């Protein structure tokens, strides 16, 4: 019986686990419940009502993407683990993960403030602050030196891009002004991420050519 990944792919943390499961060769099925539409049901899987959760074959439920990825690394062993076991490589990887997840959190913070909080309670300065922090995170990631021995996976970039574009296109087709705002915001975010990916890919190619 395969594992079950609970969460929709519009969650970057659910995608993070899905990509890692695929990369490490684990079979899984998706339970695409929504933290909004299926909140009461979700509480039965994760007491925090959050995604992702990973339900193992024996019925054990793991919550939080970082804890799930740690479990996956333990299953495959240190030679295949996504996170280095120790030393400078581990510290460097953890710092990059912190930049990436911090950026995601700020993008989501700005989005929730704009699209979930009632309009009369929205805090424009907070939205601007979150977006400034997210842009800072993207710039910092783009400035990192990326080894040619760990090139950017083009197939996973395409998966991310297609998921993001599908969400944006779906939102844009709706007539509600809110959905049009979501679409425009998503396009801006995706454009910034694409610039970062282009930078990282160029660095990897450059490093390969100079080896």
More confident residue, 81 or 194: 81
SS3 85: coil
Domains of the chain with CATH codes: 3-76 (3.40.30.10), 87-210 (1.20.1050)
Asked if 32 and 11 count as a contact pair (C-beta separation under 8 A), the reply is no
The model's pTM = 0.72
Tokens of 18: 């899905």
**Phi and psi (nearest 5°) for 91?**
-65, -40
User: CA neighbours within 13 Å on the CB side: how many for 6?
Assistant: 26
Q: What is the pLDDT of residues 8-40, one digit of tens each?
A: 887 889 988 988 898 888 999 999 998 888 999
**Total Cβ atoms within 10 A of residue 130:** 21
Q: How are beta strands 53-55 and 61-63 bridged, if at all?
A: antiparallel
Give the residue from 163, 172, 194, 191 showing the smallest Cα distance to 16. Answer: 163
What pLDDT score does 202 carry?
56
What pLDDT score does 9 carry?
81
Q: What is the pLDDT of residues 79-96, one digit of tens each?
A: 999 999 999 989 999 999
Percentage of the residues of the chain whose pLDDT score is greater than 90: 39
Burial class (CB in 10 A: 0-12, 13-18, 19+), 151: middle
Q: How are beta strands 28-31 and 3-6 bridged, if at all?
A: parallel
Average pLDDT, the chain: 78
């Amino acid at each position: 019986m395969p594992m079950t990944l609970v969460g929709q792919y519009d969650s970057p943390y659910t995608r993070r686990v899905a990509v890692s499961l695929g990369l490490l060769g684990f079979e899984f099925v998706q339970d695409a419940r929504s933290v909004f539409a299926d909140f009461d049901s979700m509480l039965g899987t994760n007491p925090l009502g959050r995604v992702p959760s990973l339900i193992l074959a024996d019925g054990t439920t793991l919550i939080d993407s970082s804890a799930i990825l740690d479990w996956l690394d333990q299953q495959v062993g240190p030679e295949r683990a996504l996170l280095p076991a120790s030393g400078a490589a581990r510290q460097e990887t953890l710092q990059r993960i912190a930049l990436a997840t911090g950026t995601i959190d700020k993008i989501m913070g700005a989005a929730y403030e704009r699209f979930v909080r009632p309009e009369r309670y929205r805090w424009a300065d907070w939205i601007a602050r979150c977006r400034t922090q997210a842009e800072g995170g993207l710039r910092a990631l783009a400035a990192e030196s990326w080894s040619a021995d760990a090139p950017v996976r083009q197939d996973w970039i395409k998966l991310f891009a297609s998921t993001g574009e599908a969400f944006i296109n779906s939102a844009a087709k709706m007539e509600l002004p809110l959905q049009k705002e979501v679409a425009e915001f998503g396009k801006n975010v995706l454009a910034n991420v694409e610039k970062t990916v282009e930078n990282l890919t160029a660095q990897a190619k450059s490093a390969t050519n100079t080896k």
